[in-house]
Structure 1
């Protein structure tokens, strides 16, 4: 007797209700932060391209901080190394949660976002490299187009009013978390300067103390915030990029709930810190990093010089092909099927959203071309141009399916029995069908009563 055929696993299917609620809450904050990020980037461009441009440079280059501690930094430097540490701290918590309670805890489910993110970083780097080898350009910026900015991507969704189904939103969020992880590794491995082993040892000792205090159950922000600042300062002086300290501390937090807990410590702290990251840290970084001089000649150079053209094509073409190709390959070789409510053009639209590589791309651009101010500004302009083109392309692709998305979201939100749980999650519950039958009977009776009242008024 022949063995039954194995059940084909579905990808991008409907999320479990608790995961759907977590994703909705997380994306709501990121969307607001993304709009602020967009406004900050526009403000930086306006400030840097008006008669006030000299004041922009003065503020951005103003130094402040204790020189004796090696922290006499410019405002722009504080934003990139200091404020972004908060952003990467939240990214570390997100990654930890995904590993222990989210999409990445199951190796089979994790394969899709991991492969998609890896391909979404490898292909842009390859595109950049090919363009610069052919054009005799610099290979130093190969990592610039590899990063995805989830906040900016969600800001695009908010602006164009597209209601992505929760499965696609969760895929985009998980993809960005994995993308952040590999971006962190790239920064740590390829953009670390001469190491100060004494400072590095002090940073590791501080991290060990941070971990020990967490395990002992010590509570109080007045303990952890000063310790985090010391670890950050030591990490900065060690030659390793200071944002790595934020990631390391985020990964140490416990993100699993105990029986007596409504939220894990990691979820609680993320809930407190995420608004600070999305609403203040990242927009301020954008304000002091996105202010590049834009002119017809400068824009022309973006599309003619190998370095900047490689960044644009890496973001627009490389990211889209990489994420889409990685998703298709995962489905092809794991014998998985795409959720029946979606189609491959939907995956293509999300893949094009991944080409919006703003925050981390700007950071890597500053690190890759440190010491060459002119080329750094040109690369920033290329990141802005590539992200804008990717946003416009994604907007067009998403608008083509907006009616389908609206219908899917309406199905996910429908709660006719008003019990706080969407009906689509209760369809297998016999009690649900009894409740719905009673509701329909009540509505029918109300409709009959209204019809009879209307006839009585007509007779009178």
Structure 2
């Protein structure tokens, strides 16, 4: 039997340009994310720590709609919905019009993401076995932070093959989608049926307008998004009132946005589509504001000096998260990728080596944004378990970033030498 063509063959010029633009915006967002997290951590352990927690816990909003939330909760439930809207939009684009529209190439990053979720979860459960409370955090080490990981890759991987960047981006998007599914299924305690049905109805209206905005409503994308934005906010509020984590609304709304012009709309004057319009407006908002602000209000935990730091690292929760992210992520991703390529008889891109896939697996151990979100959902706010989980996520993300920088940095230097020799 002949082998199927290689994983992530050379992309089209337009696809490469689009991926490059996403990476540049996420790189800036990753730098801001790290800066905000560092400021929060320093502030929360300074003599002015009470001010930080007072701001984070200050409540604003409208109570009857279950929207009287703390500033920190607004960042987690509201601002992250923008991030996950773009996750849904990007995932749909990849499957409809990107390099992953073919099953032979889509199956590999999907299976790799599943391996990168399953193995860390199993490792965490093994480490925390015997503690019912600790086991609630099994999903914390399952996520990959796109912005942080891409920022590291951009700094140390200027000469790495583009196929590796596409693999990381797609893997992280699918990984986050799985994490959101876990949140919806396992971290929803009660569901209010009426608000949920209303939310689904509003999302259906949103999707109908998004699909027919040009042909039926005679709207251009710049006008359509003004109409869709308040409808999207209404869907978010209703889903939040239903008891399901409101970030799910972002993913569902992103899935409804068309990523290709209909055949009748592909004339020369058609201009950019609705997906391009939303991405142009919301990606800078997500990378430059929403995710960094969430990191600022989530990363501020009181370590308690050297004694408190040592105490945290004796907690099975901390050990489980760190081992799961730093060891489990690369093990799960690399093993799953190797297995599926053998089963499907798919070759790696000729420019890649298995050590590169392992490096991406280590880089995927940067959990950060979604891991911090799951930590907040797993344990009671302000509890020792919640603070320890956040310390573990921050520590594991730094360790994973450092290890990936060493490995991929060495690979980057090798690719640069080869490129210079060829030129």
Q: Given the alignment, which residue of 211, 222, 226 partners 1:222?
A: 226
Q: Deviations over 1:368-403 (max 9, x none)?
A: 113562211110011001111111110110121122
CA contact (8 A) 1:164 1:409 kept: no
**Residue 191 (structure 1) aligns with:** 187
Asked whether 1:296 is paired with 2:306, we answer yes
Out of 383, 387, 398, the residue aligned to residue 408 of structure 2 is 398
Say whether residues 1:233 and 2:227 are aligned partners.
no
Q: Which residue of 2 aligns with 1:306?
A: 316
Please list the CA deviations of residues 63-119 of structure 1 after superposition, one character each: whole Å capped at 9, or x if unmatched. 011123221110000000000011111111001101101233111111110010000
Moved over 4 A (4+): 134-137, 407-412
1:159 Cα offset (Å):
4.0
Aligned twin of 2:392: 382
Structure 1 residues 408 and 245: CA distance shift in structure 2, 3 A:
farther
Q: TM-score, normalised by structure 1?
A: 0.85
TM-score if structure 2 supplies the norm length?
0.92
Cα distance in 2 for partners of 1:200, 1:32 equals 36
Deviation string 1:7-29 (CA, Å, 9 cap, x unpaired) is 44222443232221111111111
Instruction: Compare 162-171 and 333-342 and name the one that shifted more.
Output: 333-342
Whole-angstrom CA distance in 1 between matches of 2:62 and 2:176: 31
SS in 2 for 1:138: helix
CA contact (8 A) 2:315 2:388 kept: no
> Which of 280, 286, 292 is equivalent to 2:289?
280
**Residue 408 (structure 1) shift:** 7.0
Q: Distance in 2 between matches of 1:32 and 1:381?
A: 24
Q: How much has 1:222 moved relative to structure 2? A: 3.3
* Conserved 8 A contact 1:157-1:163: no
Unaligned runs of 5+ in 2: none
Corresponding residue for 2:79? 83
Q: Say yes or no: does 1:20 pair with 2:16.
A: yes
Answer yes or no: is the 8 Å Cα contact 1:137–1:307 preserved in 2.
Answer: no
Q: Is the 8 A contact 1:96 1:255 kept in 2?
A: yes
RMSD: 2.0
1:136–1:306: 8 Å Cα contact kept in structure 2? no
Specify whether residues 205 and 341 from structure 1 end up closer, same or farther in structure 2 by C-alpha distance, changes over 3 A only: closer
Partner of 1:257: helix, strand, or coil?
Answer: coil
Q: 2:118 aligns with which of 111, 122, 125?
A: 122
Change beyond 3 A, Cα 1:410–1:171: farther
Counterpart CA distance in 1 for 2:97 and 2:350 is 26
Alpha-carbon distance between aligned partners in 1 of 2:6 and 2:141, rounded to the nearest angstrom: 30
Alpha-carbon distance between aligned partners in 1 of 2:417 and 2:281, rounded to the nearest angstrom: 33
Residues 255 and 350 (structure 1), Cα distance of their counterparts in 2 relative to 1, 3 Å cut: same
**Residue 306 of structure 2 is aligned to residue 263 of structure 1:** no
> Larger C-alpha radius of gyration, 1 or 2?
1
Distance in 2 (CA, whole Å) between partners of 1:46 and 1:7 is 54
